[in-house]
Chains A and B, each alone.
Chain A
C-alpha cells in the first residue's frame, strides 16, 4: 500500500466515522415522540426563566491556559521529528534538541514565577 492509499483508507474512515453515530440518531428521529412545548424547549437552568444572555464574560485565566498550551503545542510539534530521528542522531543534534527543551522549560518557569499557572 503506498502512502496515498493509506490516506484514502483514512479518508473513507473519516467519512464513515460520523455515519456510525448518525445512524442511531436518525433511527431515533424516526421513532421518537414529538411533543415539544414552550416550557420543555426552553433553556434548562433552575426552573426560573433564564436571565440575560448566555454570553457572559469569562475569566482571563482560561485564555492564559490556552496561550501556554498553544506554545507547548507548537514546541511538541518540533520535538516529534526530533524524537523520531533520535536513534540515528549525532551528539550535536541531540544537544540542539536539549537546548530546545531547556528554553521551553524556561518559559514554563517564567509563567510559574508570575503566578500565571494559578487558577484565579
Chain B
C-alpha cells in the first residue's frame, strides 16, 4: 500500500510539474503564465513531501505561491497591456540547444558523484525533523555561517530592491 500511495503521488505531482511547465511556455498571457508556474511549483512541493521533507514543501508553498506569485503579478501589472502578445518570437535552434545543454548538465550533475552521488545507502536512515534543522542552522559546527550570510543577503536584496524601485520624485 505504501509504495502504492507514493507512486500515485509521484504520478500526480509529475503531471502537475510538467503540465504547469508546459502551460507556462504555451500560454500567451502573462498572468495565466504565472498561474501555470505556480501549478508547476506546487507539484515540486509535492515531491518534497514524497521525499519526507514536509518543511521544505511548506516553504515552497509559502515562498513561491504566497509571495513570488503575488510579486510576479504585481510586476506584470506594472507593465502596460501585454495580455495578448501578438508577435511570435521563434528561435527554435538556439532554444533547443540551450535547453538540451541545461538538461545534460543537470543529468550529469545529478548522476555523477560530484555532489556526493546518489547511492541510496548514503541517505541517513532516520529522517531529520524540523527541530534538528533549526539546531543545525545555528550550530557553531553546523550551518551558522550560511545562516547569517543568508540574512545579510536578504538584507542586501531588500535594500537594493528598494533603492532601484523607489520613486525618486517623492
Contact = CB atoms under 8 A, between A and B. Distances in A.
- The A interface is mostly helix, strand or loop, or mixed, namely helix
Contacts, number: 164
A55 B74 CA distance: 12
Contacts of A104: 151, 154-155
Interface in A1-50: 3-5, 7-8, 11
**Interface size for chain A: under 10, 10 to 19, 20 to 34, or 35 or more residues?**
35 or more
Nearest to B83: A55
B77 A92 contact: no
A110 B74 contact: no
B68 A58 contact: no
Contact of A4 (B2, B134, B148): B2
Given A84-B131, A114-B162, A4 B63 contact: no
Interface in A51-92: 53, 55, 57-58, 60, 62-64, 66-71, 73-78, 80-86, 88-90, 92
Interface residues of B, number: 55
A84 B135 CA distance: 9
Interface in B88-135: 127, 130-135
A76 B150 CA distance: 12
B162 A111 contact: yes
Chain A CB within 10 Å — which of B2, B83, B155 has the most? Answer: B155
Nearest to B12: A11
Interface string B128-170: 0011111101111000100110111011011101110111001
Interface in B12-68: 49-50, 52, 54-55, 59, 62-63, 66-68
Contacts of B75: 63, 66
B86 interface: no
Given A103-B151, A110-B158, 7 more contacts: A63-B71, A64-B166, A74-B63, A93-B137, A93-B140, A100-B147, A118-B170
7 contacts: A64-B161, A66-B67, A71-B158, A78-B151, A81-B131, A106-B155, A116-B165
Interface of A: 3-5, 7-8, 11, 53, 55, 57-58, 60, 62-64, 66-71, 73-78, 80-86, 88-90, 92-94, 96-97, 99-100, 103-104, 106-107, 110-111, 114-116, 118, 120
Interface of B: 2, 5-6, 9, 49-50, 52, 54-55, 59, 62-63, 66-68, 70-71, 74-75, 77-83, 127, 130-135, 137-140, 144, 147-148, 150-152, 154-155, 157-159, 161-163, 165-167, 170
